[in-house]
Amino acid sequence: MPHRQRGRQHRPVRRGAGLPPIRVPVEEPVTDTTAPSSPVLSDEQRHVVEQDVDARMLVTAGAGTGKTFCLVRRLAFLVEEEDVSAADILVLSYSRAAVREVRERLSRAGSAAQHVDVRTFDSYATRILSEADPDGSWQTAGYDGRIAAATHLLRTDENAAGFVEDLQHLVVDEVQDLVGHRAEFVKALLELAGGGFTLLGDPAQGIYGFLLEDPVQRRQGAATLYAWVRERFAEDLTDTTLSHNRRVRDSRAGVAHAQGVALSRADADFAAVHRDLRTSLLAPECHLGALDDAWPVIADLATAPTAVLCRTNGQALRLSAHLHERGVAHRLQRSGLDRVVPAWVAGLFTAFDTTRPSKEAVLAHLEAALKQAPIAAQQAWTLIKRMDGNRGNRLSVDLGEVAARLAQGRVPDELVAPAPALLVVSTIHRAKGLEFDNVIVVDPGPPSGDLADEAEETRLLYVAMSRPRDLLLRLELPSELTRGVYKNPEIDRWVKRHPGAQHQFKGRRYGMEIRGDDVHAEDPAGTVGFTAPARAVQHHLASTRLTAAPVTLVRSDEQDAGAHQRYVVHHDGVAIGVTSQSFAWSLQKEIGRQHARPDRVEDLRIDCVETVVGSQAASINNDMGPFGVWLRPRLVGMGRFVWPKKGQPA
């Protein structure tokens, strides 16, 4: 009975915090019925799963009701019972994380449905454009531009429309996240779909309304799309709900779920729902207290999957620094847009004397290289081979082709999945779709009073409070931790300034958010900004345990080609990288062109060491092979500026 053991394990910690122990009844073993291996379908889930292939369904699936489990079983039913070819089914979802989760569950289930095409909306829009308009101007557009272009093609071009008309079944996951261009894209798909469809989502969790400029549309969120579906397909739409929560193992962790129905209504009273949610969060059994007293409890709770959820990334950065200072191991949740290729991939490009090593040789290398990694050699080989254009040759891999795919960012989602961590610090947006044993919500305070913001704040609070299985707690951040922390819209980064210096330069800036691409990738470390044997720096990056290690940016005497100030990344006295132009540009915008640059930037950590692709010429010139693939440190944190002392040159 593993859950009984978990309860005993947490009891001393919870008592020390004045919290009641978790009790799981001995006579009722707890099982995770959302797991893909579970054979049990509830009646309401079976009603969704076993509809015929032509059915048109809108499924409202509240938090923890087994939506993804139901989706996977629905796909298996269509393929195995309805004899639908996997090639005639398409699954679309909002995020890469959701796509990866569906793919992994299909693979683990061993169903023929594992061959169903599962994509993000962005990926499918790009596929349509690539085949129907390969030379179009969309290639220079961003995500929204590509989706808008694909929507236009679907509505005006017969060839593009043919993509959808031939489908027997379309599945759209996370419908509540579809606003703006993505909502119009799905409308176009549904209007063209010749077969059935299954739409799954939870309006109460629609937290991307902030992408819309119109305040009325922001307040309505996905309710507009839901209303359109119900009106457009009124004659044959099956409108059903999954209501039974299968996530929560302790009722006290599920206090938010009762608000899901009220929050899903198009005319929701957001002020009342927010008040009820926060009243539950303020209850004594959720009280964890202030951060200075609570951090030991947070550390102890992290023997099981635990998340600390913040309203903004500025809060998350400051909280993460506070925990690091006290030696509390954790991972700061990355943005879903970050595609971080693990360090072991770079090792493939220097391990062989040939550009086409055999499968046997690659597997032998991976067996040795991945002993401490959360991935098996065979799985790693499969992911690498997926980036090789020569699928017919299963006995070797073309490293040149793999390097080209890496440079284009065309990598399997499974390859860039973040490493597991027991304690995660995250924004609520970045934790959406995830679940944890314990969830600690940073107290958001009362709503702002703005009607559009009130709707978003209420949905966000609901999402945060509906993540836990066992334990929900409230954390208070000291005001000094986030005082003077602002979002600079010009550089799209969080910064720390003197309070009151929000809009103009008054005295010194105190710090700036550091991002993953702030370390130069085009050349190997040691060849630009500072001089060191490039291979020796690579060896240090590959062989030293650097995750969460502190680093300092030290101002260099060098400037880049754009006359921007460079900083050298130092770890424990060793130079391991140099800052990029994007960092220099952001620093200049934040400080001002006419003002001095800081001597150093401190309070930074290494998120991980990642594989990057740069200049092939630089690679050859530094005896690092022909591929231009190497390692760089990926940094994270709210950097603290250290300024020149009086009398020192700026």
Binding residues: 61-68
- The label of the residue with tokens 């006419």 reads 594
DSSP category for residue 138: G
Q: What are phi and psi of 218, to 5 degrees?
A: -60, -40
Strand partners, 268: none
Strands of the 89-93 sheet, one edge to the other: 117-120, 89-93, 169-172, 196-201, 56-61, 237-242
**Main-chain phi, psi angles of 119, to 5 degrees:** -140, 165
Mark out the alpha helices in 370-450 (DSSP H runs): 377-385, 399-408, 428-431
CB 219 within 8 A of CB 452: yes
DSSP characters for 471-526? EEEEEE--HHHHTTEEEETTTTEEEEE-TT-SSS--S-EEEEEE-GGGB--SS-TT
Residue with tokens 């100030």, as numbered in its chain:
565
Beta bridge partners of 477: none
**Structure token pair of residue 215:** 């305040």
- Calpha distance 348→362 (Å, rounded): 8
Instruction: Supply 631's token pair.
Output: 């390692």
Annotated binding site for ATP: 61-68
Distance set, CA 51 to CA 59, 91, 198, 200, 589 (Å): 12, 17, 10, 14, 56
Q: Which two tokens stand for residue 15?
A: 């008592």
CB 584 within 8 A of CB 560: yes
Q: What is the DSSP letter of 645?
A: P
Q: In degrees rounded to 5, what are phi and psi of residue 392?
A: -70, -25
For 47, the token pair is 């009603």
The CA-atom distances, in angstroms, between 501 and each of 191, 384, 484, 507 are: 51, 49, 8, 8
Phi, psi of 531 (to 5 degrees): -110, 125
d(CA 375, CA 95): 22
CA–CA distances in Å: residue 179 to residues 73, 153, 263, 376, 621: 27, 19, 17, 39, 49
CB contact at 8 A, 457 and 448: yes
Nearest to residue 86, comparing CAs of 61, 106, 66, 67? 106
Query: From the CB of residue 41, how many other CB atoms can be counted at a distance below 10 Å?
Result: 18
Q: How far apart are CA 297 and CA 302, in angstroms?
A: 9
Alpha carbons 188 and 169: distance in angstroms, whole number: 15
Looking up tokens 């994380």 gives 97
| Residue 65 in tokens | 């009701």
Residue 118 is which amino acid?
Answer: V
Question: In DSSP terms, which residues pair with 242 in a beta bridge?
Answer: 61
Sign of CA dihedral 122, 127, 133, 138: positive
Q: Residues with Cβ < 8 Å from 167, sequence gap 6 or more?
A: 88, 89, 90, 193, 194, 195
